[in-house]
Amino acid sequence: MSKVLARHEVPAELKWRLEDIYASDELFEQDLAKAKDSLAGVGELRGTITSKERLLHALRRRDELAMLIDRIFAYAYMRRDEDNSNSKYQAYADQALSLMVMANSASAFLEPEILSLDSAVVWEWVEAEPELEAYRHFLHNILRRKAHTLSAEQEELLAGAGELGSAPGVIFGMFNDADLKFPEITNEEGEKVELTHGRYIQFLESRDRRVREEAFTALYTTYEKWKNTLGAMYTSELKQARFFAKTRRYNSALEAALDSDNVQPEVYHNLIQAIEGNLELLHKYVALRKELLGVDELHMYDLYVPMVHDEQQTIPREAAAAMVQEGLEALGPTYLNDLKQAFTDGWIDWLENRGKTSGAYSWGTYGVHPYVLMNYQDNLDNMFTLAHELGHAMHSYYSDKNQPFVNAQYSIFVAEVASTVNEALVMRHLLSKTESPKQRMYLLNHFLEQFRGTVFRQTMFAEFELIVHDKVNKGESLTADQLSEIYYGLNKKYYGKDIVVDPLIALEWARIPHFYRPFYVYQYATGFSAAIALAEQILTEGEPARQRYLAFLGSGGSDYPIELLKNAGVDMTSPQPITSAMQVFGELLAELEELSKEHLNS
């Protein structure tokens, strides 16, 4: 479809059905007013938690308000995402955000007040009041961190310092997203176009090597001009992380960051050690990329262009829906029947329209089916995006269906597991039925690139964070040049001898927003590895693995993520899932190497 439609021109059957949240905007506005009125009532609970009945009452009031605001927030933002130029829904989104901030402030007393109670008394209340059982994990997660909670006066000081602590990330965001400008480059058609963050990867995927090199050079020479400022920003981030960790009596910023999910540092270290032990596989992949691209020297700007020319298979949305459902048959009839609702009951917003938020996501609110935003294009990548987002949607669907509100939200640590399991199962199914060598090569290239970008690259990021935080923890100083030296060395180690590690890649640390959320990126690699292991179990073990996995989808946030994954069949306290994922990578790579020999010799 060449014309980009206006929102009102999109057929109703291709839109999501937000009316399932609020049948009309008037009902939304009524709930908005109701939520504002409820805020004062929450504040009145301060200082009242003196018995099991009072505790249950306070927690229920918290959930009632949180559910209401969650519904308001989801509706407002998804309506705005339909068309960002719609001023009515811009205003709804602003009001919803303000409401959420006010609610967080009004209920901020609750956790400190629970922490002020004697833990033994709280557990006596839980045992004596059956309706508090649903809150057992919620309460455990608060009380286990008691040793890292300070006095009320100190906590108030830390809360005030929190805004200052977020300053490095806020400043980086403003600089990187608003103020930083890149030069123009010449595109494939010989036209001068401005380089932007959004266009950068698109240029790195260009078949024209000149375009790739020009984009790479333009991007990093721009960051190089600002390296000392960026170095000061990032070292300030490292120092604030050290301050808050030590103030809360943690041994390191790593320990502090992982404790929110009750994850031990050994999980982080296991990931790095397991990947470092398998870097020869990445080196082989790089060597094969060099061979298939037919270049004398492979450079860092050659890592994103597909190694195999796609035969440009056209996949309309109806075909994509069929391919996803067929590829997920391994998850059994119950999952498939529930999944069908996505295509018939208004879960998916399919088409691009003017003003619509770009990309894809899954979202929703408790008590209503999940939603998927797409900007569907008729190709293989978009089919996999659909499978990915439906994985998120089904995770939310089963969590909401099986858990009370307090336990329905799952952790970031497991958030990418269901989406990646879906992609892996669909990929395995396509490979099982694809006979065309060229199409198999393209599929293998796609799958291996997911491993490279999600496991190897994110683990390299994780190792960089570990090194630089450790230096600051020891009181060592770090300059921009030292940060670049560390980062450059990691690139050489990870990518091996068959690639020219261009000096400018040393500046990549300066453009990674996630570094301003300490020790976050490792979860992409652990989640992907766990998903690959689960997908392989489902395909090889059958029903027992499938039942474990479906139970995991329904478990939401009812336990800590490590325990939930153990119950599903993956122990992330062990390096085994990582090494298992590396074995899969090695097998796929070996097949692509064999097919490439036949291709190059034909």
Catalytic residues: 389
Contacts of 538 (CB under 8 A, 6+ apart): 330, 331, 421, 425, 545, 546, 549
**Token pair in block for residue 120:** 């033994």
d(CA 565, CA 578): 13
Amino acid at 325: Q
Residue 500 φ then ψ, to 5°: -80, 115
d(CA 288, CA 445): 11
Q: Concatenate the DSSP letters of all residues of 76-132 into one string.
A: HHHHHHH-TT-HHHHHHHHHHHHHHHHHHHHTTTHHHHHHTS-HHHHHHHHHH-GGG
Please list the helix, strand and coil fractions of the chain in percent, rounded to the nearest 5, in that order: 70, 5, 25
**153, 221 contact by CB (below 8 A):** no
Radius of gyration for the chain, computed over Cα atoms and rounded to the nearest angstrom: 25
**Token pair in block for residue 16:** 């999501």
Burial of 497 (0-12, 13-18, 19+ CB in 10 A): exposed
Pairing state between β 361-363 and 371-373: antiparallel
Residue pointed to by tokens 């109806």: 318
d(CA 73, CA 62): 16
Q: Which residues pair with 5 in a beta bridge?
A: 353
**14, 320 contact by CB (below 8 A):** no
